[in-house]
Chains A and B, each alone.
Chain A
Amino acid sequence: AQSVTQLGSHVSVSEGALVLLRCNYSSSVPPYLFWYVQYPNQGLQLLLKYTSAATLVKGINGFEAEFKKSETSFHLTKPSAHMSDAAEYFCAVNTGTASKLTFGTGTRLQVTL
């Protein structure tokens, strides 16, 4: 079975600092990985997705993620945090069954002045 693990349920960074949100996956087949963001009182919005075309994936709002097969990781980064980045972030893997997404437990990002 495929799964993802997000390390750190809460991450706090200062405005302007590097954002690093960790995601490790477990998969017996080449995975298709996603990062979603959930702003307060809203649904989930796709940030970026890995589909094997390129290992470094650029998404919206300045976020990017790098697929590292040797480390089974798909960490999300942003060079400089902004107050508007405060949200909950979910890593997910598509299991290949009817477009089912298996989500990690989420990481809440806090951005402080």
Chain B
Amino acid sequence: EAQVTQNPRYLITVTGKKLTVTCSQNMNHEYMSWYRQDPGLGLRQIYYSMNVEVTDKGDVPEGYKVSRKEKRNFPLILESPSPNQTSLYFCASSLGPGVNTEAFFGQGTRLTVV
């Protein structure tokens, strides 16, 4: 089954404690992205990757890091989480750069930073 898998689904952590949210896709997609969803703001792109070792900032990259060492994986790293990073996070992948290409989303990771 074609899917994007995120782990964990729920995470509560303390301020400053480094964490990683994993994302893996089994569709051999080139493009992967991370979004955060906040009430009243919709989804905003954090980082994206066009292929292995190629990443770039989205609209809200501050406080986040990513890496793309393998085509299927695109982990999101919070080196020093803060309460304003409490949010619902989604990983997405798509086949290529085409403007009409469908994005496939993971189930989401609900992060709470206390």
**Residue positions of A touching B, CB distance < 8 A:** 9, 32, 34, 36, 41-46, 49, 51, 90, 94, 96, 98-106
**B42 with A99: CB separation less than 8 A:** no
| Chain B positions 17-59 with a Cβ under 8 Å from a chain A Cβ | 31, 33, 35, 40-45, 48, 50, 56, 58
Residue in B42, B50, B90, B101 whose Cβ sees the most chain A Cβ within 10 Å: B42
A-B contact pairs, 11 of them (CB 8 A): A32-B99, A43-B105, A45-B105, A49-B100, A90-B43, A98-B50, A99-B48, A99-B103, A100-B45, A103-B42, A104-B42
- Count contacts on B: residues with CB < 8 A to the other chain: 29
Known: A43-B108, A98-B31. A103 touches B43 (CB 8 A): yes
Known: A43-B4, A106-B42. A96 touches B105 (CB 8 A): no
**Across the interface, which residues of B come within 8 angstroms of A103, CB to CB?**
35, 42-44
Known: A43-B4, A43-B105, A43-B108. A100 touches B48 (CB 8 A): yes
Residue in B45, B50, B96 whose Cβ sees the most chain A Cβ within 10 Å: B45
**A99 with B43: CB separation less than 8 A:** no
Known: A99-B98, A100-B33. A105 touches B41 (CB 8 A): yes
Q: Choose from B41, B56, B90, B100 the contact partner of A98 (Cβ within 8 Å).
A: B56
- The smallest C-beta distance from B113 to any residue of chain A, in angstroms, reads 20
**Across the interface, which residues of A come within 8 angstroms of B105, CB to CB?**
36, 43-45
Q: In the complex the two chains form, what is the Cα distance from A90 to B92 in whole Å?
A: 15
**Across the interface, which residues of B come within 8 angstroms of A94, CB to CB?**
99-101
**Across the interface, which residues of B come within 8 angstroms of A106, CB to CB?**
42
Q: In the complex the two chains form, what is the Cα distance from A46 to B40 in whole Å?
A: 20
**B31 with A99: CB separation less than 8 A:** yes
**B100 with A51: CB separation less than 8 A:** yes
**A101 with B100: CB separation less than 8 A:** no
**B40 with A9: CB separation less than 8 A:** yes
**Across the interface, which residues of B come within 8 angstroms of A43, CB to CB?**
4, 90, 105-108
